[in-house]
Amino acid sequence: MKPVKVGLLGLGTVGGGTVNVLQRNAVEIERRAGRGIVVSHAAARDINKPRICDTSDIELTTSLKEVVDNPDIQVIVELIGGDGLARDLVMQAINNGKHVVTANKALIAKHGNEIFLAAQKKGVMVAFEAAVAGGVPIIKALREGLSGNQIQWLAGIINGTGNFILTEMRDKGRDFADVLAEAQRLGYAEADPTFDVEGIDAAHKLTILASIAFGVPLQFDKAYTEGIGHITREDVTNAEALGYRIKHLGISRRTDSGIELRVHPTLIPERRLIANVDGVMNAVLVKGDAVGPTLYYGAGAGAEPTASAVVADLVDVVRTLTSDPENRVPHLAFQPDAITDIPILSMDEVETAYYLRLQAEDVPGVLADVTRILGDAKISIEAIQQHEPAEGEQYVSIIMLTHRVLEKSMNQAIGQIEKLKSIHGAVTRIRMESLQ
Ligand code: NAP
Ligand code: HSE
């Protein structure tokens, strides 16, 4: 049988990695897929730019549309990023009856509902394993391996750049900007790296995971997103002294009233495996009612780890080229007519424990005022530490760990604490999860 022809949109980090893996492992891939898979055409902005892969057997063009409209091409692999032009190209590819593979989480999180509907009507597949957690096959695990379970919650380190920055800052005391520049050089960061550090990229990925876990439509606009920019070395050290690590987590939980969908820095007990996931590595912890907790771990970004997921999707697409479109694995795991509208909870309605850091004047009665406010809000305190001011500093740091409470109660209490004359500046609040 003739090899399947693939058209590549984008020849950067992931595009180059995908060509390399397809070429190097061609024999193994053909043995698995039942047919060869070759990139026959590729488009990039500058076709004369040096690439990390050998493009001598590929027809290169600057016209993305030319590739999408080429009748010889059966599968389009979208690796340009963004959610404007990429959306139009993917919709055009589907209209042309082509299968699509993409690593683009922004595209799926924001336009996935529309894209999957169009793909279903046309009987083509849209595969997106590489969109979440780089090379970790978490989509396949959640959509297929855990399909006998009711998923109760999931929590993941799903941005490699952010985890790399937090790890380098903690272990080597490196500067935030310096580590971010290295992540960009290594090809880990998004074209706009604020997506990594502000949690937007993780929120895109969490939106996708939650839809597959709970059978709800993709609702990126309802995700709560908080970045890592405000985490200080002092918070990292305090957390460690208390037996915790700070990780930037995406958390989604099914509760009686709806689904939590939130990305924020989180204190987690240091003995949890996920607390020890460092550098560019990602990990997703999924709790199913039948299987219990399961953990998926691997490289979250980079050329070949991401290509590993892109190529696995290509193999899946090629294997199903001849199968009945009505009987494929549904895009969001649940049959399209079985997607439900369980509400996504606002952050006010989320219950969690907290780490609080306050800067206070060293005068009698401050602690009593703070604990009174917390007590009135029915927030119980698990631990309190007071750190004497460093040489030449005026304020003492008060560190508190609380038991679980609704976010809206904590917001009100923090508002009142910040109004106390003896409290200086904003209260630092980091949410805590036991991940039991
Ligand atoms: P990249 O290195 O910046 O590559 C983007 C490629 O798209 C480049 O080859 C660029 O051409 C081409 N391109 C962009 N706009 C174009 C246009 N208007 N016309 C023609 N070509 C255009 O990006 P990447 O890191 O490979 O990421 C690609 C996608 O994978 C993104 O959606 C990203 O979120 C996702 N992803 C990345 C990683 C990772 O580790 N990097 C991991 C998982 C998912 P030129 O090279 O000529 O400029
Ligand atoms: N910028 C992303 C990250 C790429 O660092 O996780 C992988 O999706």
Is the pLDDT at 248 greater than 80? The verdict is yes
Same domain, 212 and 113: no
pLDDT of 353 over the 80 cut? yes
Percent of the chain with pLDDT over 90: 90
User: Would you state the pLDDT for residue 176?
Assistant: 87
Residue with the nearest Cα to atom 4 of ligand 1?
Answer: 12
Q: What is the pLDDT of residue 397?
A: 93
Q: How many CB atoms lie within 10 A of CB 375?
A: 12
CA distance 216 to 334: 9
- Asked if 48 and 91 sit in the same domain, the reply is yes
Q: What percentage of residues in the chain have a pLDDT greater than 70?
A: 100
Whether residue 166 lies inside any domain: the answer is: yes
Instruction: Identify the domain boundary among 242, 271, 299.
Output: 299
If asked whether residues 131 and 159 sit together in one domain, one would say: no
Asked if residue 269 and residue 231 are part of one domain, the reply reads yes
What is the structure's pLDDT at 175? 86
- 378 lies in the same domain as 329: no
Question: In the prediction, which pLDDT does 155 show?
Answer: 98
Closest residue to atom 12 of ligand 1, CA basis: 10
Model pLDDT, residue 50:
96
Tell me which of 286 and 330 has the higher pLDDT. Answer: 286
Q: Determine the pLDDT at residue 434.
A: 94
The residue assigned the tokens 């305190």 is 381
Q: Tell whether the model's pLDDT for residue 1 goes beyond 90.
A: no
Range of the domain at 395: 348-432
Q: What is the CATH number of the domain that holds 23?
A: 3.40.50.720
Global pTM reads 0.94
Please indicate, yes or no, if residue 325 is contained in any of the structural domains: yes
Q: Is the pLDDT of residue 390 over 80?
A: no
pLDDT of residue 233: 83
Instruction: Let me know: does 259 contact 343? Beta carbons within 8 Å.
Output: yes
pLDDT value of residue 232: 86
End position of a domain, from candidates 269, 299, 329: 299
Give the ligand 1 atom nearest the CA of 49.
47
Instruction: Examine residue 343 and state whether it is found in any structural domain, yes or no.
Output: no
> Would you say residue 393 has pLDDT above 90?
no
40 lies in the same domain as 84? yes
Q: Check if 198 has its Cβ closer than 6 Å to any atom of ligand 2.
A: no
| Nearest atom of ligand 1 to the alpha carbon of 78 | 29
- Catalytic one of 98, 105, 205, 247: 205
Check if 188 has its Cβ closer than 6 Å to any atom of ligand 2: yes
CATH of residue 391's domain is 3.30.70.260
Q: Is the CB of 74 under 6 A from ligand 2?
A: no
How much is the pLDDT for 230? 87
Identify whether the C-beta of residue 328 lies closer than 8 Å to the C-beta of residue 319.
Answer: no
CA of 187 to the centre of ligand 2 (A): 9
Is the pLDDT reported for residue 261 higher than 90?
yes
For residue 148, the domain's CATH number is 3.30.360.10
Count Cβ neighbours within 10 Å for each residue of 397-411 and write b for 16 or more, e otherwise.
bbbbbbebbbbeebe
Q: Give the residue, by CA position, lying nearest to ligand 1 atom 38.
A: 301
Whether pLDDT at 45 is above 90: yes
Residue 396 Cα to ligand 2 midpoint, Å, equals 38
**What local confidence, expressed as pLDDT, does residue 83 receive?**
97
Instruction: Give, in degrees to the nearest 5, the angle at Cα 23 between 20 and 25.
Output: 100
3-state secondary structure the chain: CCCEEEEEECCCHHHHHHHHHHHHCHHHHHHHHCCCEEEEEEECCCCCCCCCCCCCCCEEECCHHHHHCCCCCCEEEECCCCCCHHHHHHHHHHHCCCEEEECCHHHHHHHHHHHHHHHHHHCCCEECHHHCCCCCCHHHHHHHHCCCCCEEEEEEECCHHHHHHHHHHHHHCCCHHHHHHHHHHCCCCCCCCHHHHCCHHHHHHHHHHHHHHHCCCCCHHHCEECCCCCCCHHHHHHHHHCCEEEEEEEEEEECCCCEEEEEEEEEEECCCHHHHCCCCEEEEEEEECCCEEEEEEEECCCHHHHHHHHHHHHHHHHHCCCCCHHHCCCCCCCCHHHCCCCCECCHHHCEEEEEEEEEEECCCCHHHHHHHHHHHCCCCEEEEEEECCCCCCCEEEEEEEECCEEHHHHHHHHHHHHHCCCEEEEEEEEEECCCC
Residues 157 and 230 both lie in one domain: yes
Distance between CA atoms of residues 158 and 263, nearest Å = 10
Q: Are 202 and 69 found together in one domain?
A: no
Same domain, 242 and 281: yes
Determine the residue of 108, 188, 284 to mutate for testing ligand 2's pocket, defined as the one with the most ligand atoms within 8 A of the Cβ atom: 188
User: How far, in Å, CA of 36 to CA of 371, rounded?
Assistant: 67
Which ligand 2 atom minimizes the distance to the CA of 159? 6
Q: Supply the pLDDT for residue 109.
A: 98
User: What are the two backbone dihedrals, phi and then psi, of residue 108, each rounded to the nearest 5 degrees?
Assistant: -70, -45
Token pair in block for residue 247: 């990780």
Active site residue 205: yes
pLDDT over threshold 80, residue 160: yes
Query: Using one digit for the tens of pLDDT, what is the confidence trace for 273-316?
Result: 999 999 999 999 999 999 999 999 999 999 999 999 999 999 99
pLDDT tens for each residue of 174-232: 888 999 999 999 999 999 999 999 999 999 999 999 999 999 999 999 999 999 988 88
pLDDT, residue 17, reads 98
Pocket test for ligand 2, best of 179, 190, 282 (most atoms within 8 A of CB): 190
Nearest CA to ligand 2 atom 1: 189
Q: What does the pLDDT read at residue 324?
A: 74
Q: How many domains does the chain have?
A: 3
Q: Are 323 and 161 in contact (CB under 8 A)?
A: no
For ligand 1, the distance from its centroid to the CA atom of residue 79, given in whole angstroms, is 5
Residue 302 CA to ligand 2 centre (angstroms): 8
Residues 187, 209: one domain?
yes
Task: Tell me, yes or no, whether 105 and 226 share the same domain.
Answer: no
Could you tell me if residue 110 is left (phi over 0), alpha (psi between -120 and 50 degrees) or otherwise beta? alpha
Binding site membership of 196 for ligand 2 (Cβ less than 6 Å): yes
Q: Has residue 391 got a pLDDT over 80?
A: no
Distance 178 CA to ligand 1 centre (A): 23
In angstroms, the Cα distances linking 41 to 22, 232, 364 are 14, 47, 73
pLDDT band of residue 4 (cuts 50, 70, 90) is very high
Average pLDDT of the residues in 373-398: 90
Same domain, 311 and 382: no
Q: With bands split at pLDDT 50, 70 and 90, how would you rate the model's confidence at 403?
A: very high
Mean pLDDT over 150-176 rounds to 93
Both tokens assigned to 18: 């995908």
Q: Is the separation of the CB atoms in 280 and 113 below 8 Å?
A: no
